Amino acid sequence: MAKRVYYREKKMSEHKIICGDCVKELKNLKDESVDLIVTDPPFNIGKKYNSYADRRSKEDYLEWCKSWLKECVRVLKDGGALYLFNYPENNAYLMPFLDEHLTFKRWMTWHYPTNTGMSPTNFTRTQHSILFYIKGDRPNVFNKEDIAEPYKNPTDKRIKALIESGKKGRTPYDVFHFNLVKNVSKDKTKHPCQIPVSLIEIFVKASSDEGDLVLDPFGGSFSTAHACKKLNRNSLNIELDPEYCEIGKQRLKGIKEDEN
Ligand SMILES: C[S@@+](CC[C@H](N)C(=O)[O-])C[C@H]1O[C@@H](n2cnc3c(N)ncnc32)[C@H](O)[C@@H]1O
C-alpha cells in the first residue's frame, strides 16, 4: 500500500475540545469527516467520574454504546480505522454490532503488570481489550514501518537481509505491555483512568498520516489529543465533564509538536 504524503505546507496541528455529551455532539459532525477514531469509553464498572455515573444495567449500557458507535461509524471516512478500548466482557458484546457496520481487523490486548485490586474468588485483572476495525474493505493507511519494533535477532542472515532492504523491524504483536499511568508519573493528571500516551501513539501512527483528523468522543484526560499533538495529527475531542476539559486544555498547552 502506497503511503500517503502530507503535501500541504507543514502547519501546526489543531486540537478541538468540545465539552458536552458525545451522543448529542457527534450528531453535529459531518458524514465521513474523520480519518481515525481512538476511544476509551466508561466501562460500566462504577468508576468515580465527576459528571458521569458509570453504572447501568448491562442491556442499557450496550444500547448506549451502540448509540454513539453508530455515529462513529457514520463520521468515519471509508478506509478509516476505529480502535475501541473496553473490558473484554463488554467488547465481546459490542462486536456483533460493529461487525454489521465495519470490517473486523484484530482483537488486541493491553496488558498492564499492576495489581488493581484482588478478588478472593477471582483472578486478578490486568488487561483491557482493544478492538481494531476499519470502514470498508481496505485501510487508507497502515504505516507498518512507523510502528516497527527492532528485530530481536538482527544478526540472523535472513533478518540482516531484511534490514539491508530497508525494513526497520517487525510489526508489533497484538498484545501490548504498558504499565498504567502511575501517580508518580510527571504526565499524570487528576483523571481517574488515564491511558499511557505511548500506547495510543502506536495506533495513531499506524492508522493516520500527518495532518489527518483523529476523533476521541470520550476525551477524559485527553491522552488521544496529547498523542496527536506530538505526532502532528489534528484532533477532535469530546468530554462531558468541564473540569476534565480544563485539565485537557492545560495539558495540551504543555505539549510541543514533534515532541519525543
Ligand atoms: C475511560 S475515561 C477516558 C479516559 C481517556 N482515554 C484518558 O486516557 O484519559 C471515559 C471518559 O468519558 C467521559 N464521559 C462519560 N460519558 C460521556 C458522554 N456521554 N460524552 C462525553 N464524555 C463522556 C467521562 O467523564 C470520562 O472522562
Encode pLDDT of 53-88 as tens digits: 888 999 999 999 999 999 999 999 999 999 999 999
Q: What is the pLDDT of residues 143-183, one digit of tens each?
A: 999 999 999 999 999 999 999 999 999 999 999 999 999 88
Q: How far apart are CA 154 and CA 105, in angstroms?
A: 29
Print the SS3 string covering the chain: CCCCCCCCCCCCCCEEEEECCHHHHHHHCCCCCEEEEEECCCCCCCCECCCCECCCCHHHHHHHHHHHHHHHHHHEEEEEEEEEEECHHHHHHHHHHHHHHCEEEEEEEEECCCCCCCCCCCCCCCEEEEEEEECCCCCCCCCHHHHCECCCCCCCHHHHHHHHCCCCCECCCCEEECCCCCCCCCCCCCCCCCCCHHHHHHHHHHHCCCCCEEEECCCCCCHHHHHHHHCCCEEEEEECCHHHHHHHHHHHHCCCCCCC
Q: What is the pLDDT of residues 90-121, one digit of tens each?
A: 999 999 999 999 999 999 999 999 988 888 99
For residues 227 and 208, is the Cβ–Cβ distance under 8 A? no
Instruction: Confirm or reject: Cβ of 239 under 6 Å from ligand 1.
Output: yes
Q: What is the chain's mean pLDDT, rounded?
A: 93
Q: What is the predicted pLDDT for the residue at 7?
A: 46
Total residues belonging to the chain = 260
Name which residue sits closest to atom 15 of ligand 1, judged by CA: 52
Query: How far is residue 191 CA from its own chain's centroid?
Result: 17
Q: How far apart are CA 152 and CA 129, in angstroms?
A: 26
Angle at 141 between CA 239 and CA 2, to 5 degrees: 155
Pocket probe mutation, ligand 1, options 21, 25, 39, 52, max atoms within 8 Å of Cβ: 52
Q: How far apart are CA 199 and CA 195, in angstroms?
A: 7
Name which residue sits closest to atom 2 of ligand 1, judged by CA: 220
Q: How far apart are CA 69 and CA 63, in angstroms?
A: 10
CA of 130 to the centre of ligand 1 (A): 16
CATH architecture label of 15-115+123-253: 3-Layer(aba) Sandwich (3.40)
Q: What is the predicted pLDDT for the residue at 4?
A: 56
Q: How far apart are CA 144 and CA 167, in angstroms?
A: 10
Give residue limits of the domains in the chain: 15-115+123-253
> Which grid cell sits at 219?
476525551
Instruction: Confirm or reject: Cβ of 241 under 6 Å from ligand 1.
Output: yes
Instruction: Confirm or reject: Cβ of 142 under 6 Å from ligand 1.
Output: no
Percentage of the chain surpassing pLDDT 70?
95
> Which grid cell sits at 49?
467520574
